[in-house]
Amino acid sequence: MNFSSIIGISIGIAVMYFALTSTTDNLKFFLDVHGISIVLGGTLAAASISFPILKVLSLLKVFFLRVLGANKVDYFGVISQLMELNKKAANGLTGINDSISTIRHPFLKEAVTLVASGVLTEKEIRHALDLRIRTTEARFMHEANMFRTIGKFPPAFGLLATTLGMIAVLQKLGQPDSQKLIGPAMSIGLIGTLYGIGTANLIFLPIAENLTERTQEEINLRKLILEGAVMLKQQVNPIAMRESLNSFLLP
């Protein structure tokens, strides 16, 4: 579980609750079906037009697995594993075959498997792993950009809901006691804008930034693994290997 995201979501909910309760004692006032249906329905419609509907629905899985899931990047753990594999490879690359099943990180497991097979050259291993890194980066960034793109829709549909509300207000002008109806009608109309801004800036855009940050960390880790795998293939001196891998870390 990613506690940072959980804390952020909790703070967002608390801030919104405080803001709403400080505005009025009746929270049911903010439950406007008109605004909710236009903002959420319009956003879903626009997202479905922009992307395949199955990809839009798969974003729920991305949210739970990558945003709320435990995806801590363990640089030190990976470096330690590579150093242990380097020791076992001292007497030949076949010595690391028994350790492959104990490797948890999927990309590290793939890289070590390529090295242990002894079929590919150093250049071929680097090329294959580099292609996989670029493919993973493109897929992860596409998911982040989907959230970022969808985040543009709610404010626009919120404004649409407000515009329709204002039209309803103008229709009441000239009617008996219209001055008493304008205030409540305008406040209800503006709720659509509240929904749109809140949905974009508390849900979609933060998720997009979260996924972008996680992607950068994961890609850096995979680049570290790539260099480690190549050095395993070269059977580099352990001290030289450790210093090279530590170059991926901050001092």
Apex 240 CA angle, 238 and 245, nearest 5: 95
Q: pLDDT tens digit string along 28-68?
A: 777 878 888 889 999 999 999 999 999 999 999 999 888 88
In one letter, which amino acid is 198?
Answer: G
Question: Residues with Cβ < 8 Å from 221, sequence gap 6 or more?
Answer: 73, 75, 78, 105, 107
In one letter, which amino acid is 142?
Answer: H
DSSP 133-158: HHHHHHHHHHHHHHHHHHTTHHHHHH
d(CA 124, CA 128): 6
Q: What is the pTM of this model?
A: 0.85
Residue with tokens 């940072």: 4
Apex 124 CA angle, 121 and 130, nearest 5: 140
pLDDT at residue 178 in the model? 60
* C-beta of residue 223 within 8 angstroms of C-beta of residue 134: no
Question: CA end-to-end span of the chain, whole Å?
Answer: 28
Q: pLDDT tens digit string along 184-207?
A: 667 667 888 889 999 999 999 999
What DSSP state is assigned to residue 147? H
Which pLDDT band holds residue 1 (cuts at 50, 70, 90)? low
pLDDT at residue 35 in the model? 83
Residue with tokens 């010595």: 95
DSSP 26-51: -GGGG--HHHHHHHHHHHHHHHHHHS
